[in-house]
Amino acid sequence: MYEKKTALSGALMLLTLLVPSTAALAQHSPFSSDSEQRARALLKQMNLDEKVGQLTEAAGIVMPGLATEKPDNAIAQGKVGSVLWLIDVKEINRLQHIAVEKSRLHIPILFGFDVIHGYRTVFPVPLGMASSWDPSVEEQAQKLAGEDARAAGIQLTFTPMVDIARDKRWGRIVEGAGEDPYLGAAMARAQVRGFQGDKLGPNSVSVCVKHYGGYGAAEGGRDYDASYIPEELFRNVYLPPFRAAADEGAGSFMSAYMDLNDVPASGNHWLLTDVLRGEVGFKGFVLSDAFAVGSLVTHGYAADPSDAAYKAITAGLDMDMASGTYMNNLAKLVSDGKVPMATIDAAVLPILALKYQLGLFDNPYVDESKVDQTLSRPEGLALERKLAARSMVLLKNENHTLPLAKNLKKVAVIGPLADSVHDIEGGWTVEGLFGSGSKSHPVTVLAGIKAALEPDAQITTVAGPEPSKSFLGLLDQFSGKKVLPPPTPEETADWLKKTREAAEAADVVIAVMGETSGMSSEASSRARLDLPGIQEQMLETAVASGKPVVLVLENGRPLDIHWAAEHVPAILETWFPGTEGGSATADVLFGDINPGGHLPVSWPRSSGQEPLYYNHNLTHEPEDRPNFTSRYWDISSKPQYPFGYGLSYTTFKFDNLKLSKTSIKAGEATEATVDVTNTGSVAGDAVAQVYIHQRYGSASRPVRQLEGFRRVALKPGETQTLTFPLGKNELQFWSPQTKVWAVEPSTFDVWAGEDSTAPLHAELTVTR
């Protein structure tokens, strides 16, 4: 049952984990040497059951079919090290008292939860925040979310999700930073800094970087499905954000659900030990995704739960989330001599060190009297409004349709999302998930518009069928909304009639459309990317009225809006903008804020183009050649909007791209400088982006890859000269032929501009 290779790998893992030099430990360690020493001392006092207890994360609530009883007894016996899915502070304190007062060694529990984009104050979904191209947006949001979470008793968040997603059908694209490893790495670092601060401590929350690794490459965009990623693609594209998070001192990682190259991630020694510990140098602990250790059996990888526990622990997976497989099998595997005690010790050590580092031994309880006050801080809402506006992307603005005048007298606001309190915050909201419902008071787009217009403005609304009906009864799993049948032809005709009448009577139509929050999330893949339900018909009806129409999108992934891209004069992407999302949308629509977000993904014309991403390789006949090109018969193979794209109410010019040295030796660095000028009449933010392409070498390289960016605020007429380093970090890659990271002698193209099609070009020679 236990192959030699796995046992050998297990032994190698021990070498990596147990005898690291102090210098190596310090390199990326989230822990101080004091926390480590205290952890080692405590470990010496622990018996096997207590050690396995620390490797067990239990569900804090009773869920039908999952956890059938409260974990009180197990906690008292020291059999539970961590608890998840619990946000009731009284219950958190009650369980903590059991752990600290009744268990033999008084080891506190680590409470974990999915604090993905805010606690009570909900920030834009992560894909939205990545659209800001401003890592400080993520850092500020996660700092506030972390302070709230910690005050409410959560010390471990299952954030950030740093999975690269190249396929928009995959619903979890909403939780990450999109398709690019460089942007993804910047956003990953920012989130670690936001939650953990400069160093993990008594006021911070440990991140759990997920889903390691390659989860975003699920075949067909179907969540949980297998990923097949060649080693070079894994290292060059999927690994960088994880590496960045580890470098930033991430306390823990979460293993992914899916098979990676036929070996489930949660039992994959290459992934969890060889790469993560051996190469990346990660020193925290690895937690499984929920039930993932148990489901190694379901995958057809483990023979039974005991084999699953064996394969996971020897692969390098330290803590079992919710499946109980470690709790029920590890002790016997050790006493039977199949798993060495040293393997268990190596897994327990970083978990204890984290608890010391977080100050849990000194101060394990929540101050219940302060929770509500902290979660309702008004500065949180003000910050949310600011960051939400910063995350919006202006996709189209023909004839200066936007910004709108605030003295408009007749406005039609149409679409099922215009006043949907539930959807504007997106999925994965803490209080909505396992709490008793959201305690925030989200501002919808309709409410935001009303507040911006003068009191005598007439606003006509036509919602259309309610989202779960309009969207063809798709199960909105996170809202728990009832599935309704689609509208009848009579109902549809009636909604379209109302739309036509409202549009004809209005000066401007604002259509708020997209997806429900549950449609892009876990287990929420889509085969079609169109506007669901009768939204497109409502939009076409509004445009047919001849009145100016503004399409405001609320969605968790790019949608197929090819008709709108041609016929609707203005389109604003707001993603799911959060609690103050409606106010922020109005700030942008009425010009109080000039939008400056850019796309962190390539926007497809049709789902048939997926996976569509900008950093693909050249082919033998690239698309712009005349014959036999890489193209479809029926549509362009180019995106509707390219990666990095975004408009503003002003215009920018990029000029004078220069390299400080046009020829360098491999290993040396040059600097690219570029002038950016605001050529319009209002202040605005430009997002300067630098792309490179290696023309030849030991492997084909992407046609373009992002290697630098900066969002800068420019007054009308102002020019700034920006400098970007181009050295080892930017020019190296991992080659499938040489099997090393290296900068190769070659000619490099360098571009700078406002998206991934920027024409401004320079050339760099790299010699041996």
Between CA 472 and CA 530 the distance in angstroms is 12
Q: 90-100 burial, b for 16+ CB within 10 Å, e for fewer?
A: eebbebbebbb
| Nearest residue (CB) to ligand NOJ, 80 versus 344 | 80
Size of the residue set binding ligand NOJ (CB under 6 A): 6
- Residues in contact with 684: Cβ distance below 8 Å, sequence separation at least 6, in sequence order: 594, 596, 648, 649, 650, 652, 678, 713, 714
In the complex, least distance from residue 210 CB atom to ligand NOJ, rounded to whole angstroms: 6
Check 114, 180, 223, 289 and give the catalytic one. Answer: 289
Return the residues of window 511-530 that contact ligand NOJ according to CB under 6 A: 522
| Site for ligand NOJ contains 114 (CB under 6 A) | yes
**H-helix or E-strand spanning residue 671:** strand 670-678
Instruction: Output phi, psi for 744, to 5 deg.
Output: -100, 150
In the complex, least distance from residue 480 CB atom to ligand NOJ, rounded to whole angstroms: 16
In the complex, least distance from residue 289 CB atom to ligand NOJ, rounded to whole angstroms: 5
Return the residues of window 545-604 that contact ligand NOJ according to CB under 6 A: none
Residue pair 565/640 in contact (Cβ under 8 Å)? The answer is yes
- E strand intervals along 523-669: 549-554, 570-573, 652-659, 663-665
Between CA 733 and CA 740 the distance in angstroms is 8
| Site for ligand NOJ contains 431 (CB under 6 A) | no
761-767 sheet: strands from edge to edge: 663-665, 761-767, 746-753, 684-694, 705-714
In the complex, least distance from residue 427 CB atom to ligand NOJ, rounded to whole angstroms: 11
In the complex, least distance from residue 387 CB atom to ligand NOJ, rounded to whole angstroms: 22
Return the residues of window 158-177 that contact ligand NOJ according to CB under 6 A: 158
| Nearest residue (CB) to ligand NOJ, 290 versus 706 | 290
Instruction: Output phi, psi for 446, to 5 deg.
Output: -60, -45
Residue ranges of the alpha helices (H) in 77-180? Answer: 89-97, 126-130, 135-151
- Residues in contact with 665: Cβ distance below 8 Å, sequence separation at least 6, in sequence order: 766, 767, 768
- Nearest to 82, CA basis, from 350, 374, 436, 367: 350
In the complex, least distance from residue 424 CB atom to ligand NOJ, rounded to whole angstroms: 22
**H-helix or E-strand spanning residue 672:** strand 670-678
655 given a catalytic annotation: no
In the complex, least distance from residue 438 CB atom to ligand NOJ, rounded to whole angstroms: 17
| Nearest residue (CB) to ligand NOJ, 89 versus 322 | 322
Strand pairing report for 652-659 and 670-678 = antiparallel
Rg (CA), the chain: 26
Residue pair 605/576 in contact (Cβ under 8 Å)? The answer is no
Residue pair 211/189 in contact (Cβ under 8 Å)? The answer is no
| Nearest residue (CB) to ligand NOJ, 86 versus 186 | 86
Q: How is residue 213 written in tokens?
A: 């690794």
| Site for ligand NOJ contains 290 (CB under 6 A) | yes
Return the residues of window 37-96 that contact ligand NOJ according to CB under 6 A: none
- Nearest to 134, CA basis, from 403, 385, 427, 388: 388
Burial, 313: exposed, middle or buried (Cβ in 10 Å; 0-12, 13-18, 19+)?
Answer: buried
In the complex, least distance from residue 215 CB atom to ligand NOJ, rounded to whole angstroms: 8
When CB distances to ligand NOJ are compared, the closest residue is: 158
| Nearest residue (CB) to ligand NOJ, 160 versus 597 | 160
| Site for ligand NOJ contains 210 (CB under 6 A) | yes
Q: Is 581 helix (H, G, I), strand (E, B) or coil?
A: helix
Q: 20-57 burial, b for 16+ CB within 10 Å, e for fewer?
A: beeeeeeebbbbbeebbebbeebbeebeeebbbbbbbb
Between CA 393 and CA 354 the distance in angstroms is 39
DSSP string, 611-636: S--SSPBP-SS-TTSSSS-S--SSS-
Between CA 738 and CA 735 the distance in angstroms is 5
Which listed residue (147, 289, 419, 707) binds ligand NOJ by CB under 6 A?
289
In the complex, least distance from residue 211 CB atom to ligand NOJ, rounded to whole angstroms: 6
Q: How is residue 563 written in tokens?
A: 């008709």
In the complex, least distance from residue 114 CB atom to ligand NOJ, rounded to whole angstroms: 5
Q: How close are the terminal C-alpha atoms of the chain, in Å? A: 50
| Nearest residue (CB) to ligand NOJ, 114 versus 307 | 114
| Site for ligand NOJ contains 117 (CB under 6 A) | no
| Site for ligand NOJ contains 253 (CB under 6 A) | no
| Nearest residue (CB) to ligand NOJ, 107 versus 156 | 156
In the complex, least distance from residue 59 CB atom to ligand NOJ, rounded to whole angstroms: 10
DSSP 8-class letter at 519? G
Contacting positions for ligand NOJ (CB under 6 A): 114, 158, 210, 289-290, 522
- Report the catalytic residues: 289
